[in-house]
Each structure stands twice: as C-alpha cells, then as structure tokens.
Structure 1
Amino acid sequence: MKLNKSSQLLLASAVSLATAGFLSACATLTTDFVFVSSAKAAGTNNYGEINVFEINSESGVMRQIPTSPFPSGGRNPVAEAVSSDHANLYVVNRDDNTIVQFIIGNDGKVYPQNTVNTPGIFPIATAIAGTNLFVADTYQPLPSCSTASPCTGSIAMYPIQVTDNTTAGSTSSTPVNGTLGTAAVNAALSTSYWPLTLPSSPGDIILPTAIAANGSNAYVSAYDTTSGVGYVFAFTVANSALSPVNNGIPVPAGIYPSGIASDPTGAYVYVTDSSSNAVFGFAASSGSLTPLSGSPYKAGNLPSAVIVDAKGLYAYVANSQDSTITAYTLSGGVLTSIGTYTTSTQPVAIGIDPSLNEFLYTANFLGNSVSGFQVQANSGSLVNSKGTPFTASANPTAVAAIPHGATSKQ
C-alpha cells in the first residue's frame, strides 16, 4: 500500500511523538550515571577511557550514554571519586602522575577542566570526604625515589574549591566549582605529602594500595615489602592538614591489603587481604582502629575490593581470582556471609548506586565488562540485572557514580 502525502505526514508525526515519549521515559527511568575508567583504549598507547553508563531503575540494565566513552585525560587510569555535590568526577592517571577534574553534565557527559600532578610517583588510589580529596602515591617524589630505587609511599590531601558554577565545557579561566586547590603542607617535613613509615622500622618500604575516607578521617591500606605484613594507616584532618593517628603507628591487616572501605557512619572500617583471602574488620573511634569480633572474615580467592551499602546493612567483596562477589550482613560491624555470586572475569572494583541503593556493579578487568546486580532489600542477596554483563573498554579498573539529576550542569 502506498501512502499519500497527508498520511505520510501523520505517520511521521506519530513516529516523532512515540520517539519523544520513549526518550522521555528512558530519561525518567534513569536512576544513576556510573563512570567506569578503563586502563587502555585500543591503539592509544595506554591512554585511558571513561565509559559512562546509565542504570534503568526498573530492570537494572546498564546502557552507555551517547558519545561514551570519553578520554580519561591520561595514561592508565586506576582510581576515581566524585565530589560530595555530585558535580565533579576526579580520575587518577597512574602513568602520568595526574588527577584530572571533570565537570559532570546533567546528561552524564564529562567535561575535562583541570589537571594537577600528584606529589609522588604512580598514584594508586583516591577518596573524597567532604571538601577534601585524598590520593596515595606508590612512591615519594623524585629524585630520591624511583622504580629502580623504590622507597615508601605517601598520602596527600587537596582541598576542593567551591568558587563558582561555571558552565560545563566553558573555556573561562575562572576556577570552577570543584577545582583542586594546593596540596596541604606537612609542616614537620615541609612537604606536600605524608610518608607511610613504620616508626619502629623507618627503613622499611611501605607501599599503599587503597584509601577510604569518612568525615574527618582517612585510612590507607598498605603493605611492607620488607616484612611481608599488611597495615592500615589512619589520619585525621585538622587545621587543613593531616595528623597521623596513634603517633603514626598503623594496625596490622593481613599480608597484602587490596581494598578498603568504611560504613556510612564511619564506625567501621573493612580491609580485604588478597593473600589470606579474608576481610579484616575494625571498629573506628576518632581514627583509632580496633579489630572486630571474629575478624578476619572469610572471602573468596584474591579479594580485590570491598563496599558497604548506604544503609550500613550489607557489605560486598569482589573476588578477582574467583570472578565472584561475596555478600555479608552487618551486625555491630561483624560480617556474616550471605552467599556468593558470579561476575564476569576478574572483578577489581565494586560500587552501589547512590540513588536507590538498589543496584550493584563490578568492573571486570579481564572481562572488559561491567557486571550488574539488583540488591534484594530484605536480605542483601543479589540477582543478576537483565543483560549483564555490559561491554566496557579494555581493562576497566575503577567505578564511581552519581544520582541522575544530581547536577544542573549542562
């Protein structure tokens, strides 16, 4: 049947309205934007990418937004964090020793704004608490330290400035909301970083692995290459500087700590140990850490990351060798296993959607994918999201997320 011109116009109008309705529905059903950094973009000599996914609030399906992925602004991105107002994404590029600030648009797109160099060499982890960003460097600065002549790692703190709301994508030289200020000064050493050292064995080489921050405290997991012992170093933030807790003496945490997280209240801290296949739990008071009853708790093989949900009811550990997640309930901080759930190959990072606290996802390094799950509110158990796993760029390494509609940037 051949349509006349009037019929064609009516059909075109109907299609346009249907498409508009579909797009509107999709926008309405988007609950979060998830930012997944990947270590390598094909053929770009380790220059990384940021895949931006939107999560469907009904099905949990994760779909990359139009024009995703975006350049990470450097080589080998390994860590991410978002500002507390959800307006900025910070990406740590290990091979360039940089942190790149991106403004997040209300459509999830990211716009590079500023780049700062970390004080040391090979940054490995980052975290945000309030208006401070923390970063851990594998080694202290040159010329005293290098891969050929390694020394202990360090932690630094940058204030997050809130000067104005320059529109995303603007070329204005005015500092935008979220710009990183000058790194805090360690007055004792006249440096912009705090070394991770053992007061009793200052010559040991201590290398950081992960950071967690909550309120006025920051915690760094690390391992001693000399003795083969893992630790957690605790710091408090006071007078725009870091103060080591307990005279800088860390608490033991297995052999090779791989990930660290705190609960929403800051009352508990959890550390995965990839060597003993366990999770170490601590009660936290003014930064001081005390082992919890029953700690360490059994995990899968080579646990790589840990997260606690926003209500402080459940904890989840990504086991990189098993390609699984171990789920736990929390009661007085104590972890009790719920079950184990399969991901794609080698999960190395884990997150929970900040909008509904309902969807969990992992970045799968060798799977080149993101696995999605729906958290069952009454039990903490996991159900696969429809269509999981979801394709990402090569070797994803980190995840961060914001609620949809959290930022008004364009």
Structure 2
Amino acid sequence: MKSNRLGHVSLVSAIALILASTFTACNPVTIDYLYVAGNKENPGQIQTFVADRVSGALSVSGSAISSGGVTPIALATSTDYTHLWALNQGDSSLVTFAVGSNGALTSGKSYTMSAEGNTPVAMALNAQGTLLYVVNRYQPGCSTYTPGAATCTGGALVVFPIGTDGTVGTAVANGSLSYWPIGVNPTAVAALPSGTSAFVTSYNTDTGLGYVYAFAATSAGVLSAEPGSPFNAGVRPTGIACTPVSRFVYVTDFAQNQLIAYTVLDGGVLVPLINGPFKTGNQPSAITIDPRGTFIYVTNELDNSVSAYAISLPTGTPSAAVNTSGSSINATGTEPVAVLVDPSFGRYVFTANFLDNSLSAFQLNPSTGTLAPAQNGPYPTVGQPAALAAIPRGNHSVQVNQP
C-alpha cells in the first residue's frame, strides 16, 4: 500500500513537472516590454521594464539609455514592434530606435525640426504604421503667439511618412508649408484607426474654450479640414483616444473634470453624445482605450488615481466609473500623466507618475474592466517619467469588439 502511494506521488510529480515545463515554454514569464521616458536629466532617459505574464508586476531590464534629446515627452512604437520613436520637446528632435528581440533599444537616426515648427507636445502613429503625426506648440520661427499677425498664430500639425525600416521621411507638404496650422496651446493628437482622419486637441485661454481640430487624411498623409472643424471640447482638453473600430472619440477636459464623448460620422465629423459629458476625477489628463475597445482608462493628476469606464458598444456611452476615483483600488503614484494597456493580451494597465518618479501597474478584469493593484508596486523609474510605450513579447492577438 505504501509502495503504491509513493508510486502515485512520483507519477503525479512527474506529470506536474512536464506540464509546468510545457506551460512555461508556451507562456513566457515576460508578456510585454514597457518603456518609460523621463525628462529630469539632460539628455532625457528611456528605461525598459519587463511585465510579468501572471501578475503584471514590473522589473527593470538593463540600464536606462539616452532619449537622444532634451525633455522627452512622447513615445510611439511601430505596428510591427521593431522600432520606437522618442519625441524630445527641449530640442524639437525626433529619434528612431531599433527594438531588439529581447526588447533592448538601439539608437538610430535623429531629426531636428525647424521648418515644421518647434516645441513638440504630442505624437501618434496611424494604425497602418505609415504616418507619424507630430504636434508642435509653435509654428516655424516662433516661440510665442502673436494674435493678428500673419505668422505665430498657433501650433503646427506635422505628418511624417514612415518607412518599413522605421526611417522618418520628409514632412508631407501642405502647399508651400511643411505643416498644417492648428489652434493655440495644442495638447494631444490621435489618428482614427481607419486611417481616414486625424484629430488634435487645443485650448484658448482668451476665449476660455477647448477645441478638437479634425482633418481628413489620405493614405499619403495629405490633410484637409473636416466640415465644422474645430469642434467644441470643453475648456481645457488634454488627452484624446479613438475606439479600435473608429466609431467613437473621447477627450479629457482637465479644467472641468469631465470626459467628452463623440460619435464619428462619415468623413470624420464629430458629434457629441447627447447624454454627456461624463464625470472624471480631478484634473483628468491622459486617456487610453483597451485593445478590445471595451474599456476607457483616464488618469486624474490631482487625485493620483485612474478612472475606469465600460463602453456601451452600440452607443459609445461610457458607464459610470467601474472603480471609484480616488479609492485605494485604483490609486496611483503622485501626478499620473501617461497611461496604457498592455498590447499582448490587454490584461494590465500602467501609469507613469511624474512627481514621485514611479510606475503603477494594475490587473485588468477583462469581464468588468475593474482594476486591482499589481504586486510590489509602484515601481521606481528614471526622473520625471512623462511618456509610456509597450511592445508584446512574441506574437499575440487581441480580439477587437465590433459594435
């Protein structure tokens, strides 16, 4: 009897070891490589983390490297995850990095803008991976606004073609200009996943109004203003995001603590949802939508928290926050300024917390959208983290919800 029991135990142990080995081989511990850009140092720094598949917990991978410029404020990755771009505000530079199979970054070509404007504030790649939209606070030759003048009247939206090798091409021409004029104080940019439109948020302190500038986009990156653009967007819009199926656009209003939702009509015209805007925490800034197009996550700078919303797929209406803003379950570090959902399986949410030099990580419940803190967080980072990007380890596919 004893001998048989020992035999059974040995057999079970052997099977368990085989299964564990198989599970580990098919499901590597690292699910994503996460990049954070910090702008305290000169030059700026980019730090790489690996995200654990089971918990979403983060650990540092290698040493921080230079962002290739001063004050990095945005990161973007290519659609095939082989390249990363860093946008540096202090010297108006755009730097290309190659991404190794282990997530390591190798610095490549750097481009400094001058004819396209200066002091960049935001960047977004289109879903086709062919166009990089960069927003500059000032137009060429300007460092302030001059109302009523022929120039220096606002910001500049620049469209760069992207090569298959990650190279940044010459800016798409707008007649004699290498940019499209936009309003004062631009803050964020988003490309509609369909590739047919691009949007830029801005606000005007003289009028006390915020706006979304909407442009129709050709596959070559030539833009034209949409009818009715710019569209009203509260008082001080700071972040913008589009659903994966290009039906809805969401904007955070930093001044009025609200989330503004729009339906996208044919041609990129934006129509506000009649039951909005929707309440956020205090001073909402960054926004992201999970890869399935099911949930919205908004960082609240003053509350040090993340608000989570479920999207009604037929109408685009965000639910009341599925986590109460400011509660311990979605508390972040101090002043969260960037947020993303992991691209591998859409199971984790990360924020960059500017004032306490940290990253926060949360487990995302794919059924409800609720968040639970990952273990051992928050995680120390390079100084003043301002931007996030991530790439999956291996090939994964997230199902996009259709309306």
Partner SS for 2:90: helix
2:70 partner amino acid: R
Q: How does 1:87-102 map to 2 (within 5 A)?
A: 87-102=82-97
Aligned-pair CA distance for 1:115: 1.0
Greater share of strand: 1
Q: 1:186 aligns with which of 149, 159, 174?
A: 174
Q: Does 1:36 align with 2:36?
A: yes
Q: Does 1:208 align with 2:186?
A: yes
Q: How does 1:235-384 map to 2 (within 5 A)?
A: 235-238=215-218, 240-247=220-227, 249-285=229-265, 286-331=267-312, 332-336=315-319, 337-339=321-323, 340=325, 341-384=330-373
Q: 1:366 to 1:27 in 2, by over 3 A?
A: farther
Aligned-pair CA distance for 1:228: 1.8
Partner SS for 1:47: coil
- For 1:60 and 1:243, the matched residues in 2 are separated by 39
Q: Percentage identity across aligned positions?
A: 38
Q: How does 1:117-266 map to 2 (within 5 A)?
A: 117-118=112-113, 119-129=116-126, 130=128, 131-142=130-141, 145-147=142-144, 151-162=153-164, 177-187=165-175, 190-197=176-183, 206-214=184-192, 215-216=194-195, 217-238=197-218, 240-247=220-227, 249-266=229-246
Partner SS for 1:138: strand
- For 1:287 and 1:96, the matched residues in 2 are separated by 33
2:100 partner amino acid: G
Q: 1:406 to 1:26 in 2, by over 3 A?
A: closer
Task: Output one character per residue of 1:328-382: Cα deviation in whole Å (capped at 9) or x when no partner.
Answer: 0100210112113200100000000000100100000002000000001111000
- For 1:240 and 1:55, the matched residues in 2 are separated by 36
1:276 partner amino acid: Q
* Structure 1 unmatched ranges of 5 or more: 1-20, 163-176, 198-205
State the aligned residue count.
Answer: 354
- For 2:297 and 2:55, the matched residues in 1 are separated by 21
For the Cα contact (< 8 Å) 1:245–1:287, is it kept in 2?
Answer: no
Q: How does 1:37-56 map to 2 (within 5 A)?
A: 37-41=37-41, 46-56=42-52
For the Cα contact (< 8 Å) 2:145–2:154, is it kept in 1?
Answer: no
2:394 partner amino acid: G
- For 1:26 and 1:390, the matched residues in 2 are separated by 27
Aligned-pair CA distance for 1:294: 1.8
- For 2:199 and 2:226, the matched residues in 1 are separated by 13
Partner SS for 2:153: coil
RMSD between aligned residues: 1.8
Q: TM-score, normalised by structure 1?
A: 0.83
Task: Output one character per residue of 1:263-283: Cα deviation in whole Å (capped at 9) or x when no partner.
Answer: 111111110010001011101
Q: 1:113 aligns with which of 108, 111, 115?
A: 108
- For 1:246 and 1:156, the matched residues in 2 are separated by 17
Task: Output one character per residue of 1:195-249: Cα deviation in whole Å (capped at 9) or x when no partner.
Answer: 015xxxxxxxx22100111232211111123212100011122162332333472
Q: Match for residue 169 of structure 1?
A: none
After TM superposition, which residue ranges in structure 1, 4 or more long, deviate above 6 angstroms? 24-27
